[in-house]
Chain A
Amino acid sequence: MRLTVEVWRQEGTEVAGRFETHVVEGVEPQLSVLELLDALNEQLIDGGREPVAFESDCREGVCGACGVTVDGEVHGPQDNVPSCHQRLAGYADGSTVRIEPFRAGSFPVVRDLIVDRSALDDLICAGGHVAVDAGTAPDADAVGVGAETAELALDFAACIGCGGCVAACPHGAAHLFGGSKLAHLSLLPLPALERRQRAVAVVEELEELFGPCSHYGECARACPAGIPLTAVAVVNHERLLAGLRRRL
């Protein structure tokens, strides 16, 4: 089929961007949004023009490198699916697809469809990691973690760090991202030792770098890893616990 692609072009962070219109012929419906960009780029390179810059790595939905906004929808028209798995089957022959970068105040555009998502890294550095000196590794069955707890922790650990939640949120909040780290780590024995410091650090980063949360739930609708909205509630839960513990 034939698709008209309106794609965002921006030379750099400080330069104004614009939409550029191209027609791509011979598009198969089973192709992904990223493969449409590949086809467009081949066309641009053949014509001696610069390809559209965009990020991708595994193209299997597990790495979190990709992420574009398609017709105003984070990652693409389907819910809970990363850009690399968003197929073009929903588009009729001759229709138009508008592809632009993730839009969020904390994600400045680097070039074309690439945004700087290092604010997420800042949050991880502040509290999204484990820094407990654990000594030598205990026997595997010496520290008991129940199967249900382990499964729940893994569900929250499924976050691929793409930043889709921030782009989907009208406020640009990262509570789903931050909450998934807090939930995942507070459930496990060693990371739970620094639960209070972690909650304080993560909440501070959430407030400093991202927007406030109003429980719209757009983040959970977009999240390609299917992180539940519960993660957002975990942020306040952990914050409250940390506050209570501090006073004791």
Chain B
Amino acid sequence: VGVARSSEGLRHAIARIRDLRARFWTEVAIPGSGAQLNQALEKAGRVADFLELAELMAIDALDRQESCGAHFRTEHADAGEARRDDEHWAFASAWGVDAAEPGGALVFTRHAEPLSYRSVPLGTRSYR
């Protein structure tokens, strides 16, 4: 999930993150309990969050069928320049994330927050 990303690379990344996450939830060893302050438990909670966030970033990158901002989808470029698609993608994605049980498969729901500009029309900057 780099600055330049492709559909193939993202699918590969998602599969690897899911594998890592499944391993984390089955193999993680946390000493102590939640009854007292437990720094190992705090760290494990943070890793669990990062694994969810990693999958979300890859899912969002795969979902967006354009090159926008500082990131490039290699499929959506014209001679090395980013190709935006304002007709279909002029919105910010806000994702709902759900799981049937802790550590279970994540279900992502995309909500769109439309971007509307009244005084300046949308345009694509040319660096050529």
Contacts and interface: CB of A to CB of B under 8 A. Distances in A.
A11 B36 contact: yes
Interface string A1-15: 000000000011000
A50 interface: yes
Interface in A184-207: none
A48 interface: yes
Interface in A43-64: 44-45, 48-51, 53
B31 A53 contact: no
A12 B37 CA distance: 8
Given A45-B31, A48-B31, A50-B31, A12 B39 contact: no
Contacts of B39: 51, 53
A12 B35 CA distance: 10
B103 interface: no
A183 interface: no
Contacts of B96: none
Contacts of A48: 31
A45 B37 CA distance: 16
Contact of B37 (A44, A49, A111): A111
A111 B36 contact: yes
A45 B39 CA distance: 12
Contacts of B31: 44-45, 48-51
A176 interface: no
A49 B31 CA distance: 6
A235 interface: no
A114 interface: yes
A110 interface: yes
Interface in A168-220: none
Interface string B27-51: 0000110001111100000000000
Contacts of B37: 12, 53, 110-111, 114
Interface string A97-111: 000000000000011
Nearest to A55: B39
Contacts of A110: 37
A11 B36 CA distance: 7
Nearest to A110: B37
B45 to A, nearest CB: 15
A49 B37 CA distance: 15
A31 B36 CA distance: 29
Nearest to A111: B37
Contacts of B40: 45, 50-51
A110 B31 CA distance: 18
B113 to A, nearest CB: 33
A54 to B, nearest CB: 8
Contacts of A53: 37-39
Contacts of A114: 37
Given A44-B31, A111-B37, 8 more contacts: A12-B37, A48-B31, A49-B31, A50-B32, A51-B31, A51-B39, A53-B37, A53-B38
Complex A-B, nearest 3 residue pairs according to Cβ-Cβ distance, in ascending order: A111-B37, A50-B32, A50-B31
